[in-house]
Amino acid sequence: MPLRLPVTVALAEAATDLPSGPGWAYEPKFDGHRVIVARPAEGRARLQAGRSHRSVTTSFPDLAQAAERLPPGTVLDGEAVIYQEGHVDFTAVQQRALSSPIRARLLASQLPASYAAFDALAVEGEDLRARPYKERRVRLLAVLEPLGPPLQAVPSTTSREEALEWLEALRGQGIEGIVAKRTSGRYPAGRRAWVKVRHTRAQDALAVGFTGSASRPKRAVVDVGGGRLLLSTPLDVALSRLLAQALEVAGDAAGGVEWLRDGTQYQVLRQVMPVEVEVGTTRHRHVTVRRLRPDLG
């Protein structure tokens, strides 16, 4: 049976060190927007945001057009990325993801996207998710190598030493970290069977509210785990604009007013938003929002 959207994506467990021993493959983790690219047997190419299952076809019309060259019945997993001055620009790709169709077409000419594919879920109608990674990798390369940019396969190595070199050498190019996968493993849809090592001590959290106005949020109220709410440090200008853009896309996003324990008033988000944060360990615990991750919601 042909693989159809929506697709449940594989997940990765955060770790502090790369796994060692035989049977592992390592890939650089590009700092982009997780996207499933599908070229159906019939109809036009479609793009799905990784974990939210939201359609982002109109957000990346340039990638949708490029995906028309894929063999019918092909489904790929990867990251939509935008390169600026030699490095991956995460803010730029999130602007694309949160744009209206009209603005997205304009941005596509100003900020063209590339697709860093790291898995082949189906090729020419054949569901590959139960096949081992090493076989899926061969099929991925066979599909993409004749096409070239903007659809490209991420590098992969079975050498842990080379992967550690990538972790350091590619840091300045916008590589978020390294993902390790079992070469014999099937595609782990909905499970954290892959291992992810990041450059920093960033962690995933949930933004549940904000201070300031919807058009100019000042700080985020973040659930860092177990229902513990922390008020973030002030959002920088770029993050504030992105949050305002996300609120506009979501429509009536604010759902009333609540108060933190210290009496700080904030507006509640009707739907929580995944974010990446750094939690300080000083005497007065604080949290800094590094980026919004609407693609994870």
- N-to-C CA span, the chain: 28
Take residue 117 and report the two structure tokens written for it. Answer: 């594919």
Q: How many residues does the structure list for the chain? A: 297
CATH class of 203-296: mainly beta
d(CA 288, CA 294): 17
Contact assessment for residue 221 and residue 266, using Cβ atoms and an 8 Å cutoff: yes
- Choice between 33 and 90, residue whose per-residue pLDDT is larger: 33
Just list the catalytic residues: 29
Q: Which helix (H) or strand (E) holds 246?
A: helix 237-250
Residue range 218-248, pLDDT digits in tens: 998 988 887 778 888 888 888 888 888 888 7
Statement: residue 187 has pLDDT above 50: yes
The predicted model gives 269-281 an average pLDDT of 78
Amino acid at 44: R
| Residue 242 CB-half CA count within 13 A | 23
Residue range 19-40, pLDDT digits in tens: 999 999 999 998 888 999 999 9
Report CA torsion sign: 288, 290, 296, 297.
Answer: positive
Residue range(s) in the chain whose domain bears CATH number 3.30.470.30: 11-198
- Chain-wide mean pLDDT for the chain? 87
Residues in CB range of 254: below 8 A, 6 or more apart: 214, 247, 267, 268, 269, 270
Q: Which CATH number fits domain 11-198: 3.30.470.30, 2.160.20.10, 1.10.10.10, 3.40.1390.10?
A: 3.30.470.30
